[in-house]
């Protein structure tokens, strides 16, 4: 079954861009907090449990959204490993359920 993608148009460094994510906030650790293997590769969802509600990172005073909050806030754009800006990063959907098994 294909994972639902969330998209939102935002202003990013003065440009209008679309940010996307898979919406699995319960699996989002953040770029700085997601556990890695000995080689430095991010571990897949299957090797990890749910991420903490607050992984300890804040972006511009904004924390990871709670499951009841709207998705794609500043934390999502700047810190979340599950979101991407097609204009700035590789524009393909990431699949942490399969990818990054070290």
Length of the chain: 102
Cβ proximity of 44 and 95 under 8 Å: no
Q: Does 5 score more than 70 pLDDT? A: yes
Count of structural domains within the chain = 1
Residue 73 has pLDDT above 80, yes or no: yes
Write out the two tokens for 47.
């090797």
Q: How far apart are CA 34 and CA 1, in angstroms?
A: 25
Q: Where are the beta strands (DSSP E) in 40-101?
A: 83-84
The model's pLDDT over 19-61, given as tens digits with 9 standing for 90+, comes to 888 888 899 999 999 999 999 999 999 999 999 999 988 888 8
Confidence of residue 89 (pLDDT cuts 50, 70, 90): very low
CB contact set of 40 (below 8 Å; sequence gap of 6+): none
- Percent of the chain clearing pLDDT 70 (strictly above): 79
Q: List the domain range (segments joined by +) for residue 4.
A: 1-102
The pLDDT, as a whole number, for residue 102 is 47
End-to-end CA distance of the chain: 24
């Amino acid at each position: 079954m294909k994972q639902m993608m969330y998209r939102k148009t935002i202003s990013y460094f003065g440009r209008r861009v679309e940010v996307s994510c898979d919406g699995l906030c319960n699996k989002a650790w953040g770029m700085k907090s997601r556990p890695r293997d000995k080689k430095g590769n991010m571990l897949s969802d299957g090797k990890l449990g749910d991420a903490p509600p607050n992984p300890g990172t804040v972006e511009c005073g904004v924390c990871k959204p709670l499951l009841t909050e709207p998705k794609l806030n500043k934390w999502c754009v700047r810190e979340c490993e599950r979101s991407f800006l097609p204009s700035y990063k590789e524009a393909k959907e990431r699949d942490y359920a399969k990818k990054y098994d070290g």
